[in-house]
């Protein structure tokens, strides 16, 4: 029997094969099959629209946003011809989500507003709720972005004080849209998964608005739903967010409890990244209350994980925190080692701010511990606290900045000498009120939470049955 002649495949069959590849993670092969489908062509505009939509979602998932925008736009124009309001609403939402991921928040809001208006014309409650969710996520991400920009430039830009409330305004609009979506979905059956996502989003919005009690209320709602569905991953996210919110309510014992439950869940589902995230938050909180033993234990656990995951920036950040711990414990040689390692990673990864910060702290430590400078101007350091220590040597040059007749200050310049890994030699090494010191770690909590949550919000879930089920149209937009 001869082999099947692929030249006889229809557009629909190529599309079906493309989806099979994409479902199995073979994105490149899937895209090639989608392209074959377009080459063959079809008179069935619904099949063609489905292929455009799927190609847009596939390119979105591999972060080729220009290609994603192109195919979602083709889908939208085709849906205008077909006159299917639900599908047109979906297409507008997908375009909005691409712009959202590109950081074009105003354009995203413009297209999602079209999605919402068309969904209301279609009188489809699920489509309306989905549009409210997308609108909420767009305003939320815009508010988050503005919050970060203003945090960096609030002291340097003239007249910026008038804009300081803009992030909160956007976040409040986001909360309104999320709450409208909840109100709609509460009346519909089988919406547990969508409500789970909405409760998590509301919890994070109110966290950014510093309304921690309301944040906890929504994260607890999410936790209840996750338990009902035995969704360990959703439970894990809820526990980490609950831990973060409780830190800022000064309930450190409860925060520790939630972080430890999160760590156990991450281990149970083999999620090393989330395990590392939970260890990092727990360590930060312990450092905040000057529980150096616990902070050291969990920063070391985080260090092992980020190295395993090859997260160089995460490794450098943890090294900086370990240096803080050892410096506060009057162990400057260990502090210098971890600062030297952070500096090394910063240079390798082109992270100049990290290098500058490490050198700034090094200067302070060296100035206070001149006995750690050898005769040949190298710094003494102790790598024994590192579970996989590196051989790092730092030399230091000093130049006078003083003028005749005035006290002399020194500029210290550091350079690396002989960096090479050495054999692994693992070695393990009264709480106060948090008060206003909680703000010290707010940026770290903020960044970690928002990065994780924005990845989930920006994930365009494409139903793999769009083409396979007799070419019937299915939802493929963000919810």
Quick: pLDDT tens for 432-462: 344 333 333 334 443 443 343 333 333 333 3
Closest alpha carbon to 333 in 381, 385, 386: 381
DSSP 369: -
- The residues, ordered by sequence, that sit 6+ positions from 305 with a Cβ below 8 Å of its Cβ are 272, 273, 275, 276, 279
Task: Write phi, then psi, for 475 (nearest 5 degrees).
Answer: -65, 140
CA–CA separation, 207 vs 227, rounded Å?
A: 22
Measured CA to CA in angstroms, residue 122 lies from 60, 86, 181, 327 at distances of 27, 6, 16, 63
Task: Write phi, then psi, for 156 (nearest 5 degrees).
Answer: -110, -20
Instruction: State residue 7's pLDDT score.
Output: 65
- Distance of alpha carbon 199 from its chain centroid, rounded? 18
Are the beta carbons of 273 and 282 closer than 8 angstroms?
Answer: no
Instruction: State residue 417's pLDDT score.
Output: 39
SS3 of 103, please?
A: coil
Task: Write phi, then psi, for 431 (nearest 5 degrees).
Answer: -65, 140
| pLDDT(104) > 50 | yes
Q: What is the mean pLDDT of the chain?
A: 83
Instruction: State residue 68's pLDDT score.
Output: 98
CA–CA separation, 162 vs 178, rounded Å?
A: 27
pLDDT tens for residues 246-305?
A: 999 999 999 999 999 999 999 999 999 999 999 999 999 999 999 999 999 999 999 999
Neighbours of 419 (CB within 10 A): 14
| pLDDT(406) > 70 | no
| pLDDT(382) > 70 | yes
pLDDT tens for residues 180-190?
A: 999 999 999 99
Instruction: State residue 376's pLDDT score.
Output: 72
Instruction: State residue 385's pLDDT score.
Output: 95
SS3 of 394, please?
A: strand
- What are the b/e assignments for 78-94, b being 16+ CB within 10 Å? bbeeeebbbbbbbbbbb
Structure tokens at 120: 């209301």
Instruction: State residue 370's pLDDT score.
Output: 83
- The residues, ordered by sequence, that sit 6+ positions from 31 with a Cβ below 8 Å of its Cβ are 18, 55, 58, 59
Calculate mean pLDDT across residues 43-62: 95
CA–CA separation, 280 vs 386, rounded Å?
A: 16
Please tell me which residue, 343 or 441, carries the higher pLDDT value. 343
pTM here is: 0.78
CA–CA separation, 269 vs 251, rounded Å?
A: 27
**The Cα angle at residue 197 between residues 212 and 142, in degrees rounded to 5:** 65
CA–CA separation, 211 vs 203, rounded Å?
A: 9
Measured CA to CA in angstroms, residue 419 lies from 377, 389, 422, 450 at distances of 17, 11, 10, 35
């Amino acid at each position: 029997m001869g082999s099947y002649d692929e030249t006889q495949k229809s557009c629909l069959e190529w599309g079906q094969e493309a989806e099979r590849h994409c479902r199995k993670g073979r994105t490149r092969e899937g895209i090639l099959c989608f392209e074959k489908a377009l080459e063959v062509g079809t008179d069935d505009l619904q099949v063609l629209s489905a292929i455009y939509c799927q190609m847009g979602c596939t390119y979105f998932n591999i972060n080729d946003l220009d290609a994603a925008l192109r195919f979602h736009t083709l889908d939208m124009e085709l849906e205008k011809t077909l006159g299917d309001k639900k599908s047109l609403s979906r297409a507008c939402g997908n375009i909005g989500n691409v712009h959202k991921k590109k950081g074009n928040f105003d354009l995203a809001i413009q297209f999602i507003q079209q999605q919402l208006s068309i969904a209301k014309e279609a009188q489809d409650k699920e489509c309306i709720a989905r549009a409210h969710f997308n609108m909420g996520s767009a305003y939320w991400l815009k508010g988050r972005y503005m919050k970060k920009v203003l945090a960096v430039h609030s002291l340097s830009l003239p007249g910026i004080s008038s804009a300081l409330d803009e992030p909160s305004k956007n976040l409040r609009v986001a909360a309104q849209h999320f709450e409208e979506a909840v109100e709609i979905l509460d009346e519909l059956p089988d919406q547990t998964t969508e409500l789970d996502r909405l409760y998590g989003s509301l919890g994070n919005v109110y966290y950014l608005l510093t309304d921690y009690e309301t944040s906890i209320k929504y994260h607890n709602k999410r936790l209840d739903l996750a338990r009902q569905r035995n969704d360990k991953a959703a439970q894990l996210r809820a526990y980490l967010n609950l831990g973060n919110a409780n830190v800022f309510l000064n309930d450190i014992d409860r925060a520790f409890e939630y972080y430890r439950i999160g760590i156990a869940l991450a281990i149970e589902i083999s999620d090393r990244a989330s395990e590392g995230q939970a260890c990092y938050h727990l360590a930060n909180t312990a450092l905040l209350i000057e529980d150096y033993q616990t902070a050291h234990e969990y920063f070391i656990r985080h260090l092992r994980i980020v190295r395993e995951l090859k997260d160089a920036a995460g490794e450098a950040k943890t090294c900086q925190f370990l240096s803080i711990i050892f410096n506060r414990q009057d162990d400057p040689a260990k502090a210098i080692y971890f600062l030297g390692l952070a500096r090394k990673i910063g240079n390798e990864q082109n992270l100049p701010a990290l290098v500058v910060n490490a050198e700034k702290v090094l200067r302070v430590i060296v100035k206070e511990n001149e006995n750690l400078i050898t005769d040949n101007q190298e710094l003494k350091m102790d790598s024994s606290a590192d579970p996989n220590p590196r051989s790092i040597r730092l030399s230091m040059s000093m130049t006078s900045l003083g003028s005749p007749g005035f006290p002399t200050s020194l500029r210290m310049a550091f350079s690396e000498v002989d960096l090479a890994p050495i054999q692994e030699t693992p070695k393990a090494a009264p709480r106060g009120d948090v008060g206003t010191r909680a703000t010290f770690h707010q940026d770290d909590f903020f960044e970690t939470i928002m990065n994780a949550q924005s990845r989930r919000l920006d994930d365009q879930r494409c139903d793999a049955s769009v083409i396979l089920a007799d070419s019937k149209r299915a939802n493929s937009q963000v919810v």
